[in-house]
Amino acid sequence: QVQLVESGRGVVQPGRSLRLSCAASGFTFSSYDMHWVRQAPGKGLEWVAVISYDGSKKYYADSVKGRFTISRDNSKNTLYLQMNSLRADDTAVYYCVKEENSGYYSVDPFDYWGQGTLVTVSS
Amino acid sequence: QSVLTQPPSVSGAPGQRVTISCTGSSSDIGAGYDVHWYQQLPRTAPKLVIYANNNRPSGVPDRFSGSQSGTSASLAITGLQAEDEADYYCQSYDSSLSAWVFGGGTKLTVL
C-alpha cells in the first residue's frame, strides 16, 4: 500500500533553515508529481510547492518563493523540502502529498497524504 | 484569505442532508479546472472523498456526492452520520496565480 512518511520536524529560530524529507513506498515514485501542503495551527490547508515526476519542473506558492526549494531523489524514493529564512508564519504541519497523475483531469487530485510533520519557528 | 470560498461551518442532524459550497472565479473553477474535495478528521491527514467534481474514490460511501456549475462547486452528504463530523476542503487550480488552491475549509457538525 502507498506510504508517505515525513521526517525533519522540529523547533527552529526565525531566519534559520530546516530540511524536510518524505520517504515514499508502495508505488512507482519516479512516475508521479509530488507536492508539499502545509496547515498552520487551527488554520486551513495551503499548497506550498510541486515537483514533476522527473524533477525538471518546480513551482512554488508566492509565500515561499525564493526561500523554499523542493527536490527529489528518485533513486531513494524520497522527496525533500529545503526551507531557508524561516519565519514565524511558516509554523505549520507540513504534508507530503502524491498527485494522482492519471492525465484524465484538468487538475489531478491529491490521492495520498503523509501523516504530516510539525515545524515550529520560534525564538 | 483563500482563493476558493467556503462557509466556515455547517451542521445537520443524523440522517439529514447537508451541502457545502465552494465558490471560485473565472481563473479557477470557472476556467474549467476540476474540483476535488477532502475530508479531514480531527488530528489526521486529509483524505480524498470526491475527485473531478463528482467521482468517489473506492471506499467512500455513496452518501457523498459532488457537483459543479459555473464558478462554483458543491459537496453533498446525505444520511448524515456521526463519523462524518470533520473539516471539508475544496481544491482546484488557479491559472492567474499558477498555483494549486484550497478553500478555507468548512467544519461539519453532526448535531
Residues 6+ apart with CB under 8 A from B38: A45, A110, B46, B47, B48, B49, B88, B89, B91
pLDDT of residue B53: 87
The reported pLDDT for the residue numbered B49 is 98
Test B91 with A59 for CB contact under 8 angstroms: no
Tell me which residue in B52, B57, B102 faces A46 most closely, judged by beta carbons: B102
Q: Is A104 close to B33, i.e. CB distance below 8 A?
A: no
Q: What is the pLDDT of residue A10?
A: 84
Residue A111 sits at the chain B interface (C-beta within 8 Å)? yes
**pLDDT single digits (tens) A59-89:** 999 999 999 999 999 999 999 999 999 999 9
pLDDT of residue B2: 83
Pairing of strands B106-110, B9-12: parallel
Q: What region, left, alpha or beta, does residue A29 occupy, with left being phi > 0 and alpha being psi -120 to 50 degrees?
A: alpha
| CB–CB contact B92 A45 (8 Å) | no
Please compute the mean of the pLDDT values over residues A104-110 and round it to a whole number.
90
Mind telling me how many Å the CA of B103 is from chain A's nearest CA? 8
Residue A9 — very low, low, confident or very high, per pLDDT cuts 50/70/90? confident
B36-57 core/surface letters (b: 16 or more CB in 10 A; e: else): bbbbbeeeebbbbbbbbbbbbe
pLDDT at A103: 77
* pLDDT at site A101: 81
- Rounded CA separation A107/A101 (Å): 9
Which residues does chain B have within 8 Å of residue A109's beta carbon, measured at their own beta carbons? 34, 36, 48, 51-52, 91
Determine contact: A50 vs chain B, CB below 8 A. yes
Q: Quick one: pLDDT at residue A93?
A: 97
Q: Is the pLDDT of residue A47 over 90?
A: yes
